[in-house]
Amino acid sequence: MRAMMCEKIGTDPVMRTVDDPVAAAGEVVIDVYACGVNFADTLIIAGKYQQKPEFPFVPGFEIAGVVSATGAGVDAALNGQRVMAMAPHGGFAEKIALPADRIIPIPDGVSFDDAAAFQITYGTSWFALKYRASLQGGEVVLVHGAAGGVGITAVECAKILGARVIATAGGPEKCDIARQHGADFVIDYKSADIVTSVREICQRQGWPAGVDVVYDPVGGDVFSQSLRCTVPGGRLLVIGFASGDIPQIPANILLVKNIAVLGFYFGAYLDQNPEIARQGMGELLDNLAAGYITPSISQCFPLADVPRAFAALRDRTATSKMVIRCREPASQG
């Protein structure tokens, strides 16, 4: 099979032909039709991600495809089923072997592209907002990077949960994307100060002088500004560090304002909370099948063009979600 192999740290993957995977006991082999692209892909090949696989390895976390083989102890009836799964790596390839208990059936009417684009971004936002920050209807949420892959989903998930959303994005085009996905107010951080703008919005609306929850996938100076945007007793979700700058948390501000800073790493959360994981993914799939959420895919690339997708992430020209089509198109369902 063909696979995009990362052969040494800090370099983009290259196309290689490798042996097809074989389903061990308890595993299935999936013919991969689509794999979502995530900022974490650029981190894992740079050796900066929480997980550090040995080189060489195939990156790619969220896959969608068709079960083509089953190992011992796995129901052979799974063969031919359309499924999606989150893998530790290995998604940018034509096939992958995974434990059977990782796979989730793709609902009728949901395409491979949407299933691949859906899992990590929506999962991150839904579980972070609903289960980690306990977001309540009527609360105010500040979403940073709201035109990016996870930012868009945070806006949509917050609205489903009944919150009011203030979004930040860079430039008029990205601000429009945030509005289109439901943001009540949008701040262009390239032309306006975030702290001042949040306070002005809250004052005009007659809300308390700050937000209840901050969703921050950016880090750096954005995190520091977010501490000044929260109400006393607010919650700040640390989702990632797209800025490349990991902030140092000033404990005195947490003390004085009674702020809770909540880290959220989606993969570990699912492993640590399997019951909540099943419940939450079921909720997301229901919303997806009902059309309440729709993955926003800006570009689809062939397998060989994984480096192009990574470049778009690094230089921040990417908007919303990108997907790699790992083999010739099949019925999208």
Span(s) in the chain for CATH 3.40.50.720 = 137-264
Where does the chain show beta strands of DSSP type E?
2-5, 14-17, 27-37, 62-70, 82-86, 95-99, 104-105, 140-143, 164-169, 185-188, 211-216, 230-238, 260-263, 297-302, 321-325
In this structure, which amino acid lies at residue 31? D
Confidence of residue 330 (pLDDT cuts 50, 70, 90): low
pLDDT higher than threshold 90 for residue 149: no
The whole-number average pLDDT for the span 4-25 is: 97
Residue 121: HSE in the Cβ half-sphere, 13 Å Cα cutoff = 33
Segment 236-286, tens digit of pLDDT: 999 988 888 898 999 999 999 999 999 998 888 888 888 888 889 889 988
CATH of domain 2-119+296-325: 3.90.180.10
Higher pLDDT, 221 or 289: 221
Range name among 67-81, 156-170, 185-199, 284-298 with the lowest pLDDT average: 284-298
Segment 19-72, tens digit of pLDDT: 999 999 999 999 999 999 998 899 999 998 888 999 999 999 999 999 999 999
Residue 64: HSE in the Cβ half-sphere, 13 Å Cα cutoff = 26
DSSP for 84-119, written as a single string: EEE-SS--SBSEEEEEGGG-EEPPTT--HHHHHHHH
pLDDT at 289: 83
pLDDT higher than threshold 80 for residue 332: no
pLDDT at 333: 54
Tokens of 263: 């880290």
Give the C-alpha separation, 88 to 58, whole Å: 10
Segment 192-247, tens digit of pLDDT: 999 999 999 999 999 999 999 999 999 999 999 999 999 999 999 999 888 888 98
Range name among 160-174, 218-232, 305-319 with the lowest pLDDT average: 305-319
Higher pLDDT, 158 or 274: 158
In this structure, which amino acid lies at residue 115? A
pLDDT higher than threshold 80 for residue 331: no
Segment 77-119, tens digit of pLDDT: 999 999 999 999 999 999 999 999 889 999 888 899 999 998 9
CA of 229: how far to CAs of 36, 61, 69, 161, in Å? 32, 33, 52, 21
The DSSP call for residue 292 is S
pLDDT at 94: 98
pLDDT higher than threshold 80 for residue 319: no
| Superfamily for domain range 137-264 | NAD(P)-binding Rossmann-like Domain (3.40.50.720)
Span(s) in the chain for CATH 3.90.180.10 = 2-119+296-325
Give the C-alpha separation, 214 to 129, whole Å: 9
